[in-house]
Amino acid sequence: MKILLATAITLSPLLLKTAPSLAQNAPLAPSLLSEDRSADALPAPDAELFLSPQPLEPPAADLAPGQVRILAPAASSTRRRVNLVVQSRADEAVEIRVNGQPLAADLATTREVDENGIATQVWYNLQLAPGENAIAVSAGNGAPVSLNLNVATSEPRIEIAPVGNPQLPADGRSTLDFAGTIQAGEGEMLAGETVVTLTASAGEWQGADYDEDRPGFQVLAQDGQFRARLRSDLTAQKVTVRAAIDPEAIAQPEPSPDNPEAIPLAIAAAEIPDTPLEARTQIQFVPHLRPSLLAGVLRFRVGEPALDYWGSFRDFLNPDLLDEGMQVDFSSAVFATASFGEWRFTGAYNSERSLNETCDGITRLFRGPQFCEQQYPTYGDNSTTEYLTPSLDSVYARFERASPVPNAETDYIMWGDYTTSEFARASQLFTGINRQLSGFKGNYSIGALQLTALYSDKIEGFQRDTITPDGTSGYYFLSRRLVQGGSERVFVEVERLNEPGVVVERRSLQRGSDYEIDYDRGTLLLRQPLRQVEFDLFGESLAQRLVATYQFEGADSGDTALYGARAQYNLERGFGRESWAAVTYLNEDQGARQFQLYGGDALVPLGDRGQIQAEFARSELDGTSGEAYRLEATANLTAAIAAQAYYRSVAEGFVNESTESFKPGQERYGAAIGAEVGPTTRLSASYSHEANFGLAPSQRFTAFDPFNLDTFSLFDPDPIALTDTRVDNELTTIRAGVQQELGDATLRLDYVNRSRQDRVGETFDSDASQVVSSIAIPVTNDLQFRAQNELNLGSSDPLYPSRTTLGLDWELQPGTTLRLAHQFFDGGLLGDNTITSMETVSSAEFGEDTTLTMRRSVVGGANGLNSQGTLGLTHRLTLAPGLNVDFGYERVTSEISSATAAGDRFLQPFARGQTGSSLAIAENEAYNISFNYAINPNFRLAGRFEQRHGSTGRNTVMSFSAAGRPTPEIATVVNYERASAANLLLEDLDDTENLKFGIAYRNPLHDHFNLLFSYEYRRNPSTIPETLLVGSGTGSRDHVLALEAILSPNWRWEFYAKYALRYTSTELANNFTANSLIDLGQFRITYRMGFQWDVALEGRAIRQLAVGYQELGGAIELGYYVTPDLRLGLGYSAGAVSDRDFGSFRSDGGLYFNVTYKLNEFFGGFGSQTAIPPLPEPEPEPPAVEEVSNAEF
């Protein structure tokens, strides 16, 4: 038996699996209870269930009447759940009390009696409370035997940490390994296989994704251990890495008489959290000090500027340049990167255009591809393009280094496009600046002090729009057209429906992955539908808003500029312990509009128990000024007590449109505390005060009336929203509650008092008390009954009437619950109504710091619903690996436009500035279904259908896309989109359709011929709300067809040809139609005569025969390579333009000479690469070793 115990010391699960069977086979082995302390008999930590609290003699038949022995657990046990083993005489009843309470009658137990009349009984999974616990056992009339246990808090935990140096070069190639562990409790590794979801704020995970159907990157943990590898990107920055597991992964089978082989839980079921377990760590991508690199071209040209066929299309045969005569022109385009000590330099320059200008003439901030601009997959080599030098100017320059200050951010100075992340810290709400700009920016750390400065001279008009979604993905029209490309920031904000100004969640959307934007039209098309309301019959109702800030092309108001600075003193920089105090200043001059913002903020952690945030801000806008204050504190006072206190005040004149939404003219303060006074009892109390004052937004929008345009101000949106309705009211709320677990049932009782004072009207003037009681009772393992009653005592609050709710929760699968509920209203602004709801409640992790909780309800009112009643159903179904189906449904039975304490709500297509509290929710019904098929890497298919209809009109969104390779030589892609206006009150706009199809041919083994064919159909590609002024029936249709091919039969010859055609049909009103056809033809022939000479001939023709327009152009050039980098060219170019309608004709031709030099090194070897010395010849080795070496080679 000693041998068995010694084995259990090394393999503790063996003893745990064997122990219950030992308890069932009386008598227990005497050696398990002896005082043998030899090395072979030392108890393992997991064996403490079977050791007595004090030295005991082996069980004998002479137990006296009333005598009882506690064999397990040991007095040193700290487990939350234990197995209680007791011996007594078989003819005596045993009574057990835990902390003074009798043992639960339904606790699993087994009892065995030996031949001596001694009974051994085991109670499984006895749950204890954290801290001191007293177990008293008595038999017959004997004195009780007591055992005191001090239970430590044991919670599951996941950890992740980098393996090696946490600083990784930002070169796009370096990798760093991460190792993680999952502990089920008390230091024990979680047995078996567990799926871990990894996300990183930057970089790319390497290797195969274990579950591609789930968001994020999945790895498989074996027995509580996992590893992963992250590859850096090209941007120096701090990177937060997050690892998470679902709580269901912790659950393990519990030992019971029916399952004696199961391992006892190391953690109580009540301790398993409802939200994913997660751990975070931080690494840093540091500037890559690589060898210098220089690339570019220098061009010297002598000739007429209007005959530069190889230059800009807009300059060829330009009438303003035809009379310039012969000129000497020099142009250059250069990119360079180099290391100077610990500093890295990256720069670019183009003398002819902005660095952000694309080949189609578009210039925007942070040049980058969108969905509609992705190239056809011709080559299929999985290559990517990175834009390292974005700038609206012709120059980009950046000097950067890894700061010598530990844990500090990168030091840098730069000129180009940048974000304002240093001005949007966690402690900044009122002083936060979240924009994308172009100009100068610098960041430098001196010890604990971090200094940041920025300047931009390219400031256009700035606008903030808040839009109520309609349950579809778009199109959502902004209030402005001609948006400056790349300047937008788009967010989804979730706020309390009846408490405007309280944002409970804010998610940032990224262009390309989350939405696409048409900058000319000012439209957003989301990748997923966005619901209006998240409605929880057992909780609070939440409204979703789409918030966009952007710059737009306004009237020329002279010179504009923006400059700002921030000084941040860091008290602590360690990850998870960040602490600072800072001041911020911003000044924006838009010519006719002057804006100034300054203030201070601080973040001070309270150890690992909480934190304090403080902030002050003041703004000045065209003579109007205001202040804002914020102080928030959260703390875990003890392991069982948590508290929160806050104060927030915003003057009605305070303005900041580039931060989170808030309500000007509002003051809030309050405190809350929650305590766990026992293993099954929780107490909570809170106090809050809200005051609303100043002017509320006014209603400026009505349904479009073409005969009375004065009623519709959509076409003249003022950057500053009008306000003319005064509010002056206060609300004081006191709440106290208790939650008690009785067995498997959970009961909660709250008392709520809401005292309102309205100094303007009588709507919000009341004093109401309410008792809220609720109960949740599990019917089966997957089914739970819920009931809640909110009873007003006396008078009723206008926004919180008496309500009764009954419901059932059915867990369809881990993480997804189907809820059926029925709710009765009684009084208030909601009237006497009933709501029936069916919804799914699910939680999914989508990425770093992003948790999306979805509540979609199916609601119907027996008597109608005046202000709120929503319906929604959303579920994601995986039919097969790689094949997912999503469907959703939302119904708002009546318009939600009742007044709130912050002012009236009304229907409008968008709210400007910080007036989102005035947005109403329209009555509508929306549903969607989508699928995604990606099981084959050579074929991907996706589609969706969405429809919304209601009192404000109808919108249908359809999307379909497919891409794949039928053969290794052929690649195809097709995409179709259709949508109309999703904004409220814009129901008269026609749909916009776009169909694209492309096919490419390239033989990867014989690359002599390449072919690309594309077709695009567009209907109403330019429709905007202003189109409504023209009249009904306005629309257009475009058909665009293109074919291009390249043939290289050998290295000397190259033939290229392209033909494109566009047919346009425009309909104005009902009696006018115009058609137009324009085509383009282009060819090029190149012949290389040896290695130094070449000749090229190219020509093109553009025709629009319906209007008599024709343009011809061509050039022939002879070239000679003096060196591989230096080329001399002599050529002749000519062209002609004929325009019948304008009665004009122009033509010209002439010789030109140019010198082209390709840059690859400069100034004493800058840009040249140091050759890697050859490896030394290997020493002769034995034949066996040589054979392995050759195999590896």
Residues 207 and 92 in one domain: no
Rounded to an integer, the average pLDDT of 799-805 is 79
DSSP assignment of 820-845: EEEEEEESSTT-S-EEEEEEEEEEEE
Return d(Cα 1146, Cα 1113) in angstroms, integer.
12
Return d(Cα 876, Cα 842) in angstroms, integer.
10
What are 165's two structure tokens?
């140096």
Q: What percent of the chain has pLDDT over 70?
A: 77
Position 1165 scores a pLDDT of 56
pLDDT score of 1135 more than 70: yes
Residues 171 and 84 in one domain: no
Residue type, 900: T
Return d(Cα 230, Cα 241) in angstroms, integer.
9
Range in 115-129, 602-616, 698-712, 1072-1086 the model is least confident about: 698-712
Return d(Cα 1150, Cα 1148) in angstroms, integer.
7
When pLDDT is cut at 50, 70 and 90, the band that residue 558 belongs to is: low
**Helix, strand, coil distribution of the chain in percent, nearest 5:** 5, 55, 40
Rounded to an integer, the average pLDDT of 804-814 is 77
Task: Determine which helix (DSSP H) or strand (DSSP E) holds 746, and give its type and residue range.
Answer: strand 745-758
When pLDDT is cut at 50, 70 and 90, the band that residue 866 belongs to is: very low
Query: What are the pLDDT digits (tens) for 932-974?
Result: 887 777 888 999 999 888 877 788 999 999 988 888 889 899 9
Position 215 scores a pLDDT of 74
The residue among 825 and 1175 whose pLDDT is bigger is 825
Residues 105 and 50 in one domain: yes
Residues 58 and 125 in one domain: yes
192 found inside a domain: yes
1109 Rama class: left (phi>0) / alpha (psi -120 to 50) / beta: beta
185 found inside a domain: yes
Return d(Cα 507, Cα 743) in angstroms, integer.
39
> Across 188-202, 841-855, 1040-1054, 1140-1154, which has the greatest mean pLDDT?
1040-1054
Range in 112-121, 304-313, 886-895, 1105-1114 the model is least confident about: 886-895
When pLDDT is cut at 50, 70 and 90, the band that residue 1186 belongs to is: very low
Position 398 scores a pLDDT of 96
What are 608's two structure tokens?
């690992």
Task: Report how far apart, in Å, the C-alpha atoms of 522 and of each of 51, 513, 689 are.
Answer: 74, 18, 40
Rounded to an integer, the average pLDDT of 164-176 is 90
Position 671 scores a pLDDT of 94
903 found inside a domain: no
Round the CA-based radius of gyration of the chain to a whole number and report it.
37
Residues 185 and 204 in one domain: yes
Residue 587's beta-bridge partner residues? 563, 596
Domain final residue pick, 151, 178, 198: 151
Return d(Cα 561, Cα 142) in angstroms, integer.
90
Task: Report how far apart, in Å, the C-alpha atoms of 36 and of each of 2, 9, 30, 31, 57 are.
Answer: 9, 15, 11, 8, 12
Are the C-beta atoms of 150 and 159 separated by less than 8 Å? no
pLDDT score of 931 more than 60: yes
Q: Which residues contact 734 (CB under 8 A, 6 or more apart)?
A: 686, 687, 752, 753
Position 528 scores a pLDDT of 86
Return d(Cα 463, Cα 598) in angstroms, integer.
20
Position 460 scores a pLDDT of 84
Residues 121 and 193 in one domain: no
Range in 222-231, 295-304, 366-375 the model is least confident about: 366-375
Buried b (16+ CB within 10 A) or exposed e, 359-387: eeeeebbbbbeeeeeeebbeeeeeeeeeb
Burial class of 1193 by CB neighbour count within 10 A (0 to 12, 13 to 18, 19+): exposed
The residue among 250 and 544 whose pLDDT is bigger is 544
pLDDT score of 1061 more than 70: yes
Position 424 scores a pLDDT of 92
904 found inside a domain: no
The residue among 434 and 124 whose pLDDT is bigger is 434
Residues 185 and 201 in one domain: yes
Q: Is 688 helix (H, G, I), strand (E, B) or coil?
A: strand
Q: Is 916 helix (H, G, I), strand (E, B) or coil?
A: helix
Are the C-beta atoms of 470 and 532 separated by less than 8 Å? yes
Position 709 scores a pLDDT of 42
Residues 115 and 65 in one domain: yes
In 3D space, the residue among 560, 608, 600, 594 whose CA is nearest the CA of residue 581 turns out to be: 600
Position 22 scores a pLDDT of 31
Task: Report how far apart, in Å, the C-alpha atoms of 78 and of each of 95, 129, 666 are.
Answer: 23, 10, 50
498 found inside a domain: no
Residue type, 287: P
Query: What are the pLDDT digits (tens) for 57-94?
Result: 444 456 888 888 888 888 776 667 788 899 998 888 88
Query: What are the pLDDT digits (tens) for 405-445?
Result: 998 999 999 999 999 999 999 999 999 999 999 999 999 99
130 found inside a domain: yes
Q: Which residues contact 340 (CB under 8 A, 6 or more apart)?
A: none
The alpha carbon of 212 is separated from its chain's Cα centroid by a whole number of angstroms, namely 18
> CA geometry: angle at 379 spanning 374 and 385, to 5°?
50
Return d(Cα 85, Cα 506) in angstroms, integer.
53
Rounded to an integer, the average pLDDT of 1153-1182 is 65
Are the C-beta atoms of 352 and 333 separated by less than 8 Å? yes
When pLDDT is cut at 50, 70 and 90, the band that residue 1023 belongs to is: confident
β-pairing, 277-286 with 167-169? parallel
Q: What percent of the chain has pLDDT over 90?
A: 36
Edge-first strand order for the sheet with 523-526 is 474-477, 523-526, 515-518
Rounded to an integer, the average pLDDT of 602-606 is 93
Domain final residue pick, 286, 317, 335: 286
Residue 896's beta-bridge partner residues? 921
Return d(Cα 576, Cα 238) in angstroms, integer.
13
70 found inside a domain: yes
Position 250 scores a pLDDT of 56
Position 968 scores a pLDDT of 86
Residues 205 and 104 in one domain: no
Task: Report how far apart, in Å, the C-alpha atoms of 325 and of each of 320, 352, 637, 1058, 1145 are.
Answer: 11, 20, 83, 32, 19
Range in 266-270, 506-510, 517-521, 928-932 the model is least confident about: 266-270
1012 found inside a domain: no
Are the C-beta atoms of 384 and 261 separated by less than 8 Å? no
The residue among 374 and 136 whose pLDDT is bigger is 136
Query: What are the pLDDT digits (tens) for 632-670?
Result: 999 988 878 999 999 999 999 999 999 999 999 999 999
Query: What are the pLDDT digits (tens) for 320-379?
Result: 888 888 899 999 999 999 999 999 999 999 998 899 888 777 888 988 664 444 444 444
213 is in which domain, residue-wise? 157-286
What are 272's two structure tokens?
């398993």
DSSP assignment of 166-211: SEEESSSS-EEEEEEEEEEETTEEPPSEEEEEEEESSSEE-S--S-
End-to-end CA distance of the chain: 56
Residues 90 and 213 in one domain: no
Position 591 scores a pLDDT of 79
Query: What are the pLDDT digits (tens) for 510-532?
Result: 888 889 899 988 999 998 888 88
> CA geometry: angle at 414 spanning 411 and 415, to 5°?
165
Backbone angles phi, psi at 750, to 5 degrees: -125, 145
Position 328 scores a pLDDT of 92
What is the CATH number for 172?
2.60.40.10
Residues 130 and 267 in one domain: no
Position 504 scores a pLDDT of 87
Query: What are the pLDDT digits (tens) for 363-416?
Result: 889 886 644 444 444 444 555 677 889 999 999 999 999 999 998 999 999 999
When pLDDT is cut at 50, 70 and 90, the band that residue 1191 belongs to is: very low
Rounded to an integer, the average pLDDT of 613-622 is 94
Return d(Cα 259, Cα 961) in angstroms, integer.
51
Range in 276-280, 468-472, 515-519, 1070-1074 the model is least confident about: 1070-1074
Residues 170 and 147 in one domain: no
Query: What are the pLDDT digits (tens) for 454-477?
Result: 999 988 889 999 999 988 888 999
Return d(Cα 524, Cα 101) in angstroms, integer.
62
Range in 87-91, 153-157, 611-615 the model is least confident about: 153-157
In this prediction the pTM is 0.77
Return d(Cα 962, Cα 964) in angstroms, integer.
7
Range in 224-238, 329-343, 866-880 the model is least confident about: 866-880
**Looking at the chain, how many residues does it have?**
1193
Position 739 scores a pLDDT of 92
When pLDDT is cut at 50, 70 and 90, the band that residue 155 belongs to is: low
pLDDT score of 582 more than 70: yes
Quote the number of domains for the chain: 2
Domain final residue pick, 238, 255, 286: 286
Rounded to an integer, the average pLDDT of 497-507 is 84
Return d(Cα 704, Cα 986) in angstroms, integer.
8
Buried b (16+ CB within 10 A) or exposed e, 986-998: bbebbbbbbbbbb
Return d(Cα 1177, Cα 1193) in angstroms, integer.
14
> Across 538-542, 895-899, 959-963, 1020-1024, which has the greatest mean pLDDT?
959-963
